[in-house]
Structure 1
Amino acid sequence: MILAVCLVAAAVGGGLVYTTHVDPGTETETRTVSSLTVESEYVHSAEVTEPNSVFDTGTVLDGRNTYFTRVAPVLDVAVETSYAADAASDVDVSFESVLVIRNVASEGGTVYWDERETLTTETVSGVEPGETAVASFALNSSEVDATASEIESELGASPGETETFVETDVTVEGTINGEETSSTRPIEMTLDHGGDTYTVSEPGLQSDTLDEQTERVTVERSYGPLRSAGGPLLLLVGLAGAGGLAYARRAVDLALTPAEREYLSYRDDRSEFAEWITSIRLPESVHERPEAEASTLRDLVDFAIDNDTGVVEDPATDAYHAVTDEFVYTYAPPTLAIEGDEGDKDGEGGGGNEGDGEDGGYEGEAAPGAADDEAN
């Protein structure tokens, strides 16, 4: 059983080694051969222009969510855009930023009124991959807030919520990856006026992969480290185990005497053909037939099967017999088997003499010391 496990392990390990390192085979995968990735973001800051006890005049407050309307009312905004491509030429990046002030229903999205003002329209030409194109504009928060209030006052009502935001359309166009390409992506930045402060909400860096081109390629299959190392290890363990068992079996076999080998062969046959053997005490008349001797228990069982008879183990003779009308065929187990069986019988039956005294094992004669007892 152990040998079989070792051989199976060696076979599996060998298969893993072959399919992993010798002939791993191939697989088809999709690779991106070219693409256009555009990244855009808002960068903003506000310079302190009014004297105060906290910030020095001229201090630039940048990247904040909230600015102070009274001391730094003007928000400086830059829209920065870059792109990545395998090849590009004559690429222009265009910006169009519009300030939108509108009143919108809280539910349903109905726009009651809106006011639009173009802040900048700018084109940067000859932009290389990885280079950053920039368009800038400024927003006076006080003026924006005043414009919204003036419109509400003129209309006399504001049924929805008034919101302010900047919408910028970023267009990248030119010869990219060998093809004429034009792509436009809008981004937005919101301004929330709170009287003495204003809050800026921008989406951060926006990245889009456009014009992605792929191809199907056939590559050699690859495997993880577990299989790469596990296959050789399993093969080595299997071969080493099988070799060790073979050596151990050979060493044990060489150490056995011929009688011991014959006994082990008999025990194997006895176990294998147990279902064909019945223990029956044969009458003396059976042994009056001519007797033929079988060399092994296997030969006797084969003969019995071929002649449609059974094999009998006779407790009286410790031998195995196959009886036919004319002959009795006999196999006498090796001496080691008989001695071992007798030892078992003695061990099992020896309990009948317990308590009979030291002479319990002697039959038909006095036990040692009995004569002295009688003489006395």
Structure 2
Amino acid sequence: MSTTARIKRELAIYGGILGIALVLAGLLAVGGAGYAYTNPPVEDLPPEEYDVQEFGVTVTHAATVTGETPLYAEGETIENKPVYFTNSTPELDLTVETDVPDDRTVGLTHRLVLVHRGTFNDDVVWEREETVIAEEASISDGTHETTASVDVPDVVERVNAYESAMAGVGSVSTELRLETTYAAPAQGGETYEGSLSGTVPFEVGNDAYWLDGDLSATTTESRTRQRGTRQLSPDMTTVYGGLGIGVVLILVGTGLIVWNVRGQDVHELEMEIVRSKYDEWISTGEFPADSDKQYIYITTLEDLVDVAIDTNKRVIYDPDLETYSVVDDDLIYYHAADPTQIDSWVGLSGSQ
């Protein structure tokens, strides 16, 4: 009971202010829901890639059988084999194949070289280059091929000479290197410019030779532009949640204001709290009316209970008069919400 009374007392004192605060909070929640509905989020679109173009280059190889061999027919052309034999196919044809956009004119340069290199403890001692292909071209149909031949016995002879000059110190290696540049117009008045390159070991011996891997390179060029923003749909969870919370807060706040306006007896609620706290010292009975007694008014019920404890008496509660009293011989200590009414009642009783 005391807990309920305490809550009622606090609401009686602060309920009006709390109710106004709840109504204002509810209005803010409803306003926020309305704002979320009328101002949905905006998403930044990712940049758009356009005018995407690919540039690629590949080196293929082939050889025509010119020497007698049981492996191939004379005059047969063999292509992209893992190994070639020097006696039957002494000349290797190297072809640079280019694949570029076919909707614009593309400028190309090719440089295909044999690189001989002498190393010692992984450090380069010397290097020599032999140009196989050096070309500039302008194409508009998207493809281009350039072919040149390598005399393999001549290469073997030079490699043997390099190895002899090294006198067994370090090692000699040969590789095939490709360097290609391109230039092509791009949308917006810009130009795509770049280079493609790659290397592959060229293993040569007195009896056979081979390219140890593929030699190719590709790249992609493109332009980007901003795409702006787009408006998303309102977050209806936020909208409905804000409306629901707002309506509840407004209703609760309005109820508190109405309850508070009707008026609540704070003194009566405080009496109820004290009555519940000191219930073991209070009994129900009649208020004594005797003109021979001296009546002393006590300001609070709590102080009246202290008097009862000090005098080892009980507090008597008269529900008809809503009055508490402690009788100590000729002294009557009492407390009432309206002490003037008790004073007049005692006077009447004493005169009868």
Superposition TM-score, scaled by structure 1 size: 0.49
Q: Is the 8 A contact 2:274 2:301 kept in 1?
A: no
Contact 1:167–1:189 (CA under 8 A) maintained in structure 2: yes
Q: Deviations over 1:269-314 (max 9, x none)?
A: xxxx999954844543x43249xxxxxxxxxxxxxxxx7869xxxx
Are residues 132 and 289 of structure 1, via their aligned partners in 2, closer, same or farther at CA, if it must alter by over 3 Å?
farther
Q: Match of 2:135, as an amino acid?
A: E
1:95 paired residue number = 110
For 1:288, the equivalent position in structure 2 comes to: 286
| Pair member with larger Rg | 2
Look up the SS of the partner of 1:288 in the other structure: coil
Task: Please name the residue that 2:99 is paired with.
Answer: 82
The Cα of 1:82 is off from its aligned counterpart by 2.2
Q: Kindly report which structure 2 residues correspond to 1:110-259, keeping only aligned pairs within 5 A, or say none.
A: 110-112=124-126, 114-128=127-141, 131-153=142-164, 155=165, 157=167, 159-177=169-187, 178-179=189-190, 182-209=193-220, 213-220=223-230
> Aligned letter for 1:98?
V
Which secondary structure state, in structure 2, belongs to the residue aligned with residue 38 of structure 1?
strand
Could you tell me how far apart the structure 1 residues matched to 2:231 and 2:194 are? 37
1:67-108 deviation digits (Å, cap 9, x = unpaired): 3444444332221222349x734x222222222223233423
Q: Distance in 2 between matches of 1:322 and 1:50?
A: 136
Distance 2:275 2:211 in 1: 96
Task: Please report the RMSD computed on the Cα atoms of aligned residues, expressed in angstroms.
Answer: 5.0
Instruction: State whether residues 289 and 327 of structure 1, in contact with CA within 8 Å, keep that contact through their aligned partners in structure 2.
Output: no
- Cα distance in 2, alignment partners of residues 72 and 308 from structure 1: 124
Query: Partners in 2 of 1:58 and 1:276 — Cα distance?
Result: 124
1:136: how far off?
1.4
Aligned to 1:313: none
Corresponding letter in the other structure for 1:219? T
Per-residue deviation, 1:138: 2.3
SS in 1 for 2:100: strand
Provide the residue aligned with 1:105 in structure 2.
120
- 2:54 and 2:101 in contact (8 A); partners too: yes
Q: Gaps spanning 5+ residues in structure 1: where?
A: 1-10, 223-227, 247-272, 291-306, 311-318, 329-376
SS at match of 1:148: helix
Cα 1:236–1:74 change in 2 (3 A) is farther
SS in 2 for 1:88: coil
Change (3 A) 1:145 1:274: farther
Q: Which amino acid aligns with 2:212?
A: S
Q: Which runs of 5+ in 2 are unaligned?
A: 1-28, 249-271, 289-299, 304-318, 326-333, 338-352
- Aligned residue for 2:41, secondary structure, equals coil
Residues 1:191 and 1:26: Cα distance change in structure 2 (over 3 Å) = same
- Report the TM-score when normalising by structure 2: 0.52
SS of residue in 2 equivalent to 1:79: strand
Distance 1:76 1:288, change over 3 A: farther
Q: Which amino acid aligns with 1:78?
A: T
Q: Are residues 237 and 25 of structure 1, via their aligned partners in 2, closer, same or farther at CA, if it must alter by over 3 Å?
A: closer
Letter in 2 for 1:200: L
Please report how far the alpha carbon of residue 25 of structure 1 lies from its aligned counterpart in structure 2 after TM superposition.
0.3
Matched, 1:25 2:42: yes
Residue correspondence of structure 1 range 315-330 to structure 2 within 5 A? 325-327=334-336
Task: Return the structure number with greater relative CO, CA threshold 8 A, min gap 6.
Answer: 2
Q: Percent identity?
A: 19
